[in-house]
Amino acid sequence: MSGININQALQRFHQQTKVDRDNSERVIQAAIMRLLQQQPVYGQLIAQLPRQHVTTPSEGLKDGQRAFAPLFGLVWSQSTLILRVNDCHWQQAQNEGLLLALLVHEALHLLWQHPLRYLHESGQNVDIATDVAINQVMTTQIPGAWTLGWLNQRLQRQLPSNADSAVYLAALNQVTVDSTDHNHTTSEELTGSSQGSVIDKKLSAVRHTDGAGQQQDEFFNESKRNEPHLADSHDGWTSSSVNDELARANLRQRINQALERTTLTQRGKLPSAVQAKLASFSQQRAHLPWTAILSKLIGTVSHGKRDSRARFNRRQPQRMALPGQIARRRVAVTAFIDESASISTQMTVRFINELTGLTRAYELALTVIPFDAAVHDPITLSSSSQVAEKLRARHVGGGTSFQSVFDYLKADCSQTPTSLIVILTDGEGETTIDAHGYHRVLWVLVGPQELSVQTPPGWVANINE
Task: Give the pLDDT confidence score for residue 309 in this predicted structure.
Answer: 52
Burial of 18 per CB tally in 10 Å (0-12, 13-18, 19+): middle
What is the pLDDT at residue 422?
A: 93
Q: Are 135 and 151 in contact (CB under 8 A)?
A: no
Predicted local confidence at residue 165, as pLDDT: 92
Rounded CA separation 439/335 (Å): 14
CA distance 429 to 257: 16
CATH topology classification for 286-462 = Rossmann fold (3.40.50)
pLDDT of residue 285: 45
Report the pLDDT value the prediction gives residue 209, as an integer from 0 to 100: 42
| Torsion of the alpha carbons at 121, 126, 130 and 132, rounded to the nearest 10 | -170
CB atoms within 10 A of CB 112: 19
Per-residue confidence (pLDDT) for residue 376, from 0 to 100: 87
Q: What is the Cα Rg of the chain in Å?
A: 27
Q: What is the pLDDT of residue 310?
A: 53
Query: SS3 of 95, please?
Result: coil
pLDDT at 389: 59
Q: How many CB atoms sit inside 10 A of residue 403's CB?
A: 17
Closest to 79 measured CA to CA, from 234, 233, 236: 236
Q: Show the low-confidence residues of the chain (pLDDT under 70).
A: 1-2, 59-68, 176-226, 282-289, 299-331, 358-364, 380-398, 464-465
Tell me what pLDDT residue 319 has: 61
Q: What is the pLDDT of residue 28?
A: 96
pLDDT of residue 303: 47
Instruction: Encode pLDDT of 136-191 as tens digits.
Output: 999 999 999 999 999 999 888 899 998 999 999 989 988 743 433 444 444 444 44
Q: Distance (Å, rounded) from C-alpha 145 to C-alpha 207?
A: 24
CA distance 312 to 423: 41
- What DSSP element (H or E) covers 94? none
Sign of the dihedral through C-alpha 66, 116, 432, 416: negative
pLDDT tens by residue, 265-312: 888 889 988 988 887 776 554 444 677 778 777 765 544 555 555 555
Instruction: Write down the domain spans for the chain.
Output: 6-265, 286-462
